[in-house]
Amino acid sequence: MKTPVYLDGHATTPMDPRVLAVWERTARDHFGNPASTGHAFGWAASRVVELAREHVAGLIGATPREIIFTSGATEADNLAVLGLAGAFEGRGRRQLVTSNLEHPAVAGPLAWLAGQSAWELTTVPAGPSGLVAPDDLAAAVTGQTLLVSLIAAQNEIGTLQPLAAVGEICRAAGAFFHVDAAQMGSGLDLDVERDRLDLVSLSGHKMYGPKGIGALYVRRRGPRVGLRPLMYGGGQERDLRPGTLNVPAIAAFGEACRLLQLEGAADRVRIGGLRDRLWQNLQDNLPDIQLNGDAKARLAGNLNVSFGGVPPGRLVGALTTLAVSAGSACASAEGRVSAILLALGVGPELAAASLRFGLGRFTTEAEVDFAATQVVAAVRRLRAGS
């Protein structure tokens, strides 16, 4: 077993060797520009792109024409929120609804719109476990609601939102429903028809694919979603995302989606078992610890735990043989205490003594047991020192 052991799968996932092989083969053999329609190199690259589009669509129950390739989930989120607002500006509906647990890639553009006079933002607070109650959301949605945007699986605490129930509420009100599904590779299962989704953001590097590639699902039927582009020029991706397509990354992303569709259900069972094993080990050996997030409605690979009696901000630094985090990668980079945990009512000191474990496809039982041993030892040491 190599150290440090990687348990930060919600920040990014290692590329699956099968996905890497597709990336390398495509970069070598299909370097043509898909927009070059006058020769075989362009045709071959275009076929690669369209095959990947089929794989992405198949993962979420969409059709290939509903998939727009982007540089990642952040761009997809911005295109969904700002693009929809731009397309419907001045057309009657002016309310936007979201939760207090959103990733900055959604919270940011929504906050920007809220600063403009044409838009009103309503934030529905989640319960203590991170679940947004459908009744609370239904009470917030009105005849003026254009968009409801929720994170499908919270990237810090792993809580899964009741998408199908929210989708029904949105459809009945005539509002569009966008979900940030960046955590697809950590055990999220969704279907755009079953869950009544109109816009879905995806990220390649969170599902064992490359960085710098993602997609936005844009519904084309019952109802059709119109977006105003954020960039202009080139005409690629139905004029919604101009620029020369990154064919190797798109091909690899498509392969990652194909593998996830084939293996995701089995992955969720195995990874969920490892997560439960880790949590049980910590419970058996450490008093005064707290699980953050919903105990049942959560990502298979997610475990977020607060450790009482540990000096704030010390725990991650004490675990030199583990790659874990105290929260989202964005918050960690700025040294901030998790705003998500604070929003759930976790005290500042306890929030600053928390760990987020992100288990994944390549996590082993031996690594989980090793991680538990290291965390128990570090917590005991820090408690004794304090």
| Residues 231, 271 within the same domain | no
| Residues 353, 219 within the same domain | no
Is residue 250 one of the residues assigned to a domain? Answer: no
What is the rounded distance in angstroms from the CA atom of residue 204 to the CA atom of residue 71? 9
Q: Which amino acid is at 236?
A: Q
Domains of the chain: total: 2
Which of 111, 269, 329, 330 is an active site residue?
330
| Residues 93, 218 within the same domain | yes
| Residues 145, 216 within the same domain | yes
Is residue 322 one of the residues assigned to a domain? Answer: yes
Structural domain harbouring 96: 63-242
| Residues 185, 99 within the same domain | yes
* Last residue of one domain, picked from the residues 242, 274, 301: 242
| Residues 207, 316 within the same domain | no
- Non-local CB neighbours of 110 within 8 Å, separated by 6+ positions: 81, 96, 98, 102, 121, 149
Supply the CATH number for residue 334's domain.
3.90.1150.10
Is residue 358 one of the residues assigned to a domain? Answer: yes
pLDDT tens over the chain, length 386 residues: 899 999 999 999 999 999 999 999 999 999 999 999 999 999 999 999 999 999 999 999 999 999 999 999 999 999 999 999 999 988 888 999 999 999 999 999 999 999 998 899 999 999 999 999 999 999 999 999 999 999 999 999 999 999 999 999 999 999 999 999 999 998 899 999 999 999 999 999 999 999 999 999 999 999 999 999 999 998 999 999 999 999 999 999 999 999 999 999 999 999 999 999 999 999 999 999 999 999 999 999 999 999 999 999 999 999 999 999 987 655 555 567 899 999 999 999 999 999 999 999 999 999 999 999 999 999 999 999 97
| Residues 319, 380 within the same domain | yes
- From residue 316, give the alpha-carbon distance in Å to each of 290, 305, 353, 379: 17, 12, 9, 10
Supply the CATH number for residue 214's domain.
3.40.640.10
Is residue 170 one of the residues assigned to a domain? Answer: yes
Is residue 22 one of the residues assigned to a domain? Answer: no
Q: Is 330 a catalytic residue?
A: yes
